[in-house]
Amino acid sequence: MKKSTMLAAGFALLLAGCQTTEEGNNSPASSTSVTAEISTAKEELTTTGEDLPMNDTQYGRGAASDGADTNADNEATRILTEDSKSIIIYFSRSGNTENLARMIHNENQADVLELSVENPYPADYEEAVERATKERENQDYPEISTEIPDFGQYERIYLGYQTWSMTLSNPITSFLIDHGEEFGGKTIYPFSTNAGYGEGDTLKRIEELASDAIIAESFEIQDEDLLANQDAVITWVNDSES
C-alpha cells in the first residue's frame, strides 16, 4: 500500500486519542456557509454531467447534524450509469464527507452511491457518540437501508468515511461486512474526513473487511481544511485515474 496522503493544516488540533463519532464538524458558532444550495429534488441530484453543490456544514467535535445523516431535506445521492468504471460510495453524518465525495465526482464524474442507515444518527453530537460507542462495543453495527447495486462493472471504488474513535465509522464497517468480498480484484481508493486526528486504523480495517481488494493511496483531511484545499483533492483524483 502506498503511504497515505497527509495534508498539512497550520492550526490542526493536537488532541491525539480523543474519541470522535463525527466526521469532523465544527461548533455552530464556527460553521462555514457556501454559496451553492443543496437541491431538494432527487431528480437534480441524480443528473449526470453536472456538478454537485457543496453543503453548509459544521466542523470538529460537538457539531450537530440535520438528524437524518445529510438527508433531512433531500434524497440520498444516487447516480448510477451503465458504463462508468468508477463509483464513489460514502456515508456522511453531517456533510463534510459528502462535500469531499462531491468534489471527487465533480472532477471525475464517477457514479455515486450515498449510504443510508435504517435509523439515522441523532442530531446531537454527544447522543451520536453514545450510540456509536455502544454499537462498536457490542459489534452491533447499523443496518444499511440503501438499495445496493451490482458492482460488477466497476474497477475503481472510491470509499468515503469518517474517523470515529480512531477507527472506521460504523456504517462503513457495516457496509464492508456485508459487501467487502464483492470488491475482490478491484482497487479501493479510501478518502476520509476527521476532526484533526488523522486516519487512525481505518486503512487496516478496510484491508481486513475487503481482503481481496487492492487498497490504493488514501486521501484524508481535517474537515475545516477541506473547502480551502480542493486543488489537493483534484490532484489526488487525477493521480488515481491515471
Domains and CATH numbers, the chain: 52-241 (3.40.50.360)
Answer yes or no: are the C-beta atoms of 103 and 193 closer than 8 Å: no
- The residues, ordered by sequence, that sit 6+ positions from 139 with a Cβ below 8 Å of its Cβ are none
Q: What is the largest CA-CA distance in the chain?
A: 45
Please, what sign has the CA dihedral across residues 114, 120, 126, 132? negative
Please give the pLDDT value at position 30.
Answer: 31
Record the pTM.
0.80
β-partners of residue 219 are 5, 191
pLDDT tens for the chain, 242 residues: list them: 433 443 333 333 322 333 333 333 333 223 332 222 233 333 334 455 679 999 887 776 767 787 888 999 889 999 999 999 999 999 999 889 999 999 999 999 999 999 999 999 999 989 999 999 999 999 999 999 999 999 999 999 999 999 999 999 999 999 999 999 999 999 999 999 988 889 999 999 999 999 999 999 999 999 899 999 999 999 999 999 87
Helices (H) and strands (E) in the chain, counts: 6, 9
Answer yes or no: are the C-beta atoms of 102 and 158 closer than 8 Å: no
Ordered alpha helix ranges (H), the chain = 42-45, 96-108, 125-138, 170-179, 202-209, 230-241
Please give the pLDDT value at position 22.
Answer: 39
Please give the pLDDT value at position 42.
Answer: 36
Q: Find where cell 490542526 sits.
A: 12
Rounded-to-integer distance, Cα 12 and Cα 129, Å: 22
Please give the pLDDT value at position 49.
Answer: 66
